[in-house]
């Protein structure tokens, strides 16, 4: 059967690998149409896992399946070569073929059995979608880095992959060009019905692109789950570089306040005001709030004109024994029933507070609470 984007299937990965100084054992699952990010410290084994999943690195044991297709099964002695697995690989260096033009690069992965007219059409369609029309006849060395990355991505998608691997795809892209490329990536990933595996050392890219997160620590899965839940879990922050303990909330832009240049975002049925975002009303956004910027009270604060206040319930209170100067409090936002009668998914938010505050207020799991934070403490990423 021809692999193709028309048959979405979940990807399950279970791998045992031996790398110099590192013994890797991981297991995770990526539903079709989901973007799963592997995150963790450098050297934790993310790259090796991605390579082994694609068949580029021999694994000692495990099993990789895509729906009903078994691509790798150590006990059953199944080990498909990369060209049969078809996990298109895009990394930061693009790896365009220098002796071919952009057009020839795009056509490289096309099904050789395709009629010439269909090939031309497929290439020009992709060129249009990725904005490569003006550079089709150039060689890769004559186009800039963002265009090379676009070409690599278009080439990967034209090869009708069964899964897509994005290994730090923006590594070589200058910071000022990243945003545009992220938009392109986001646009195309949303359209895809494939499982996508990605890794990036920059958390803002993960927050923008990924649906699920697998935290890899010293070759093991330290945690896995939806991005907002994983990144809102302070216990996970220790495994992540450049992540301050905090919360990630999914929301929808409701309206913009032109007078004060603020945007109102709906989070689990409650309103959060944030500095104005460049997003249309109804667009999905992710809010990131550091736990140290959040405080939790048992009663509504009377004078709260300037601050966001959300209702919730305390789910966890963590104190580092009786001596630490601070502790972490987790609260679940009150579930709201929206206009259509759907119950919104509960969002979790973490607050770092002094031990004195926690004890003086007598915070304990199960209590109703009010969660407050400044609008300026929120950073927003569009989805």
* Cβ distance to other proteins smaller for residue 95 or 202: 95
Rounded distance, CA 332 to CA 367, Å? 11
* Cβ distance to other proteins smaller for residue 73 or 172: 172
Tell me which residues in 59-88 interact with other proteins (CB under 8 A).
81-83, 85-88
Output the CA torsion sign for 165, 289, 240, 321: negative
Interacting residue with other proteins among 58, 97, 193, 342 (CB under 8 A): 97
Could you say whether residue 219 binds other proteins (CB under 8 A)? no
| In the complex, least distance from residue 127 CB atom to other proteins, rounded to whole angstroms | 17
Rounded distance, CA 197 to CA 155, Å? 17
Identify the three-state secondary structure at position 221.
Answer: strand
* Cβ distance to other proteins smaller for residue 81 or 366: 81
* Cβ distance to other proteins smaller for residue 173 or 224: 173
Cβ-contact 230, 204 below 8 angstroms: no
Half-sphere exposure of 2 (CA within 13 A, CB side): 10
Interacting residue with other proteins among 14, 91, 266, 334 (CB under 8 A): 91
Which of 157, 214, 191, 162 has the alpha carbon at shortest distance from 9? 162
* Cβ distance to other proteins smaller for residue 56 or 184: 56
Of 92-100, 188-196, 274-282, 371-379, which segment contacts other proteins by CB under 8 A? 92-100
| In the complex, least distance from residue 159 CB atom to other proteins, rounded to whole angstroms | 4
Largest distance between two CA atoms of the chain:
76
Identify the three-state secondary structure at position 298.
Answer: coil
Which of 218, 236, 266 has the alpha carbon at shortest distance from 380? 266
Q: What is the DSSP letter of 327?
A: E
Could you say whether residue 206 binds other proteins (CB under 8 A)? no
Could you say whether residue 2 binds other proteins (CB under 8 A)? no
| In the complex, least distance from residue 81 CB atom to other proteins, rounded to whole angstroms | 7
DSSP assignment of 87-123: EEEEETT----TTS-HHHHHHTTS-TTS-HHHHHHHH
Interacting residue with other proteins among 48, 54, 230, 268 (CB under 8 A): 54
* Cβ distance to other proteins smaller for residue 112 or 321: 112
Q: In the complex, which residues of this chain contact other proteins (CB under 8 A)?
A: 54-56, 81-83, 85-89, 91, 93, 95, 97-100, 108-109, 111, 141, 155-156, 159-161, 165
């Amino acid at each position: 059967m021809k692999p193709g984007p028309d048959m979405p299937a979940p990807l399950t990965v279970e791998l045992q690998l031996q790398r110099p100084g590192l013994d890797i054992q991981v297991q995770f699952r990526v539903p079709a149409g989901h973007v799963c990010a592997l995150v963790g410290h450098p050297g934790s084994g993310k790259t090796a896992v991605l390579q082994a999943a694609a068949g580029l690195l021999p694994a000692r044991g495990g099993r990789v399946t895509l729906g009903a297709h078994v691509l790798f099964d150590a006990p059953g002695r199944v080990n498909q070569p990369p060209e049969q697995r078809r996990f298109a690989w895009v990394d930061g260096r693009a790896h365009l073929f220098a002796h071919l033009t952009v057009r020839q690069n795009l056509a490289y992965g096309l099904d050789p059995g395709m009629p010439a007219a269909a090939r031309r059409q497929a290439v020009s369609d992709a060129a249009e979608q990725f904005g490569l029309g003006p550079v089709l006849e150039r060689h890769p060395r004559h186009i800039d880095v963002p265009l090379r990355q676009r070409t690599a991505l278009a080439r990967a998608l034209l090869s009708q992959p069964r899964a897509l691997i994005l290994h730090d795809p923006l590594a070589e892209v200058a910071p000022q060009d990243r945003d545009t490329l992220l938009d392109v990536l986001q646009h195309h990933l949303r359209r895809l019905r494939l499982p996508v595996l990605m890794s990036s050392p920059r958390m803002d890219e993960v927050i923008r692109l990924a649906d699920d997160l697998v935290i890899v620590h010293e070759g093991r899965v330290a945690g896995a789950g939806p991005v907002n839940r994983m990144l809102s879990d302070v216990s996970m922050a220790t495994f992540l570089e450049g992540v301050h303990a905090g919360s990630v909330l999914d929301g929808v832009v409701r309206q913009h306040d032109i007078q004060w240049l603020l945007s109102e975002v709906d989070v689990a049925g409650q309103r959060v005001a944030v500095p104005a975002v460049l997003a249309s009303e109804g667009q999905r956004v992710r809010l990131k709030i550091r736990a140290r910027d959040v405080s939790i009270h048992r009663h509504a604060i009377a004078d709260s004109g300037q601050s966001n206040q959300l209702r919730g319930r305390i789910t966890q209170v963590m104190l580092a024994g009786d001596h630490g100067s601070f502790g972490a409090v987790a609260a679940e936002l009150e579930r709201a029933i929206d206009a259509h009668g759907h119950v919104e998914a509960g969002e979790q938010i973490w607050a770092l507070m002094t031990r004195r505050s926690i004890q003086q207020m007598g915070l304990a799991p199960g209590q109703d609470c009010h969660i407050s934070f400044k609008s300026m403490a929120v950073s927003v990423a569009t989805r």
